[in-house]
Structure 1
Amino acid sequence: MMLRLRHDIARLKGDRSGLAAVEFALSAPVILTMFLAGAELTNFAITKMRVSQVALHIADNASRIGTNSLLTAPQISEAQINDLLIGANLQAGKLQLATRGRVIVSSLEPIANPNPTGKFRIRWQRCYGTKSHPSSYGLQGDTNLTGMGPSGQHVTAPDGGGVIFVEVAYDYEPLISDRFLPSSQIRDIAAMTVRDDRDFGGNGEIGIYNSEGVTPSTC
């Protein structure tokens, strides 16, 4: 009996038939976690790129809008800005920018022409989206700015012109879990120089006309 038991134990000790199953059971959680993390980070990177593109397109389009006239410099209106922001939401598609994001569009201009002091103002600022997020770089009416943007990357405006500065803040919705992400909020900025001459001082120095009587997208 003892000899048979010893024989069975020795045979079991050398049995390798279940080795692959055991190795798979041990490695599966690690492999699955790496796969899920990779999928989440890839989706996050794609979403961040889309938010960046939205910010750039808003800045580009806002720098071009205006109603041309033979008598005056091109004028922008509240209706044009509203259309610009609604169009950005449509362009963003499934990002649901209106409910998950906040867009802040600012008109940065020199306080004088020429501008020897190197100071700038935000003549007007318009916002879109229900997310609560104030501007990180200035508010409408600020007149003592050295520029807009992160430290070391300040954007300034040319004498007699202006720059459209756009901030976008967006709440990312994870595919799996935000535990794989550095942050669940995406923020991006973009800036474009106003392309043509523009009537910067119309409508009581706000710089935006409202002959259509629409509700301004104020912040």
Structure 2
Amino acid sequence: MHLMPPRLPPRAMSRLRRLVRRLRRDTAAITVVELAVSMPFLMLMALGSMEMVNLGILHVRLNQLAISVADNASRAKQSVVGGAPMFREYDVNQVFTGAALSVEDLNFATNGRVILSSLETNSSGGQWIHWQRCWGNKAYASRYGVEGTGATGTSFAGMGLAGNKITVESPYAIMFVEIAYQYKPLFFGSLFKSKLIHKDAAMYVRDDRDLTQIYNPSPTATVASC
């Protein structure tokens, strides 16, 4: 014997048919469905745009940091009665302290490196990196030469990228700054790779300065050696 499924009352069947017809004609949920489908792509575009903006702002800030360090180092000096002003280890540390304050939100001391070089001329008239001072714990060496490069002869072409070398004329000096910073993406580590960002800046030393050395009079300051 076969059991027949229970049948709905005529009034309930009529209501069910009307509900089915109404749902078939209803298009109010199409926007919700489209939004649900497109949301992953919208989120990807929004976060990607934020990542690109953050990277662009970072490039500007690091460029300004390089210019600021070069400018401040070119101005710093200690006046001396009857002699040329001195440039001291204290002045170097003050320049780096100002740099640290301007990028303290970037954790620059851990992820970055500032290299300050004094580009001068040697006794032969060639280009010479007289001294270098550094700040930041990122392992990074100058791309253009270490302290003492070009001390003799004229083979050292100067500092900067090939085809755009910076050179100085005697008896002046240029404060050449190199910035290296390890960029870490905010969102898309696999799409935006972590990379090392480089920035350079150079400024002529303002006014007169004793270029024979960096002085460290008492009380002495810590040497920011490289």
Shorter-chain TM range is 0.7 to 0.9
Unaligned runs of 5+ in 2: 1-18
Choose which of 179, 182, 196 in structure 2 pairs with 1:168: 179
Whether the 8 Å CA contact 1:41–1:180 is kept in 2: the answer is: no
Shift of 1:13: 7.6
Question: For the residues of structure 2 that align with 1:43 and 1:19, how far apart are their CA atoms?
Answer: 35
Matches within 5 A, 1:1-219: 16-112=27-123, 115=125, 119-143=126-150, 144-181=155-192, 183-201=194-212, 207-212=213-218, 213-219=220-226
Structure 1 residue identity aligned to 2:186: L
Aligned length: 205
Question: For the residues of structure 2 that align with 1:84 and 1:132, how far apart are their CA atoms?
Answer: 20
SS at match of 1:102: strand
Instruction: Calculate the TM-score normalised by the size of structure 2.
Output: 0.81
Question: For the residues of structure 1 that align with 2:217 and 2:27, how far apart are their CA atoms?
Answer: 84
Unaligned runs of 5+ in 1: 1-7, 202-206
Shift of 1:211: 1.3
Question: For the residues of structure 2 that align with 1:168 and 1:153, how far apart are their CA atoms?
Answer: 17
Structure 2 residue identity aligned to 1:137: Y
Q: Among the aligned pairs, what percent are the same residue?
A: 39
Question: For the residues of structure 1 that align with 2:181 and 2:156, how far apart are their CA atoms?
Answer: 26
**Structure possessing the higher radius of gyration over alpha carbons:** 2
> Cα RMSD over matched residues?
2.4
Shift of 1:218: 0.5
What is the CA deviation profile of residues 60-109 of structure 1, one whole-angstrom value per residue up to 9, with x for unaligned ones? Answer: 00011111223221111111111211221012231222222100000001
Structure 2 residue identity aligned to 1:37: G
Instruction: Calculate the TM-score normalised by the size of structure 1.
Output: 0.84
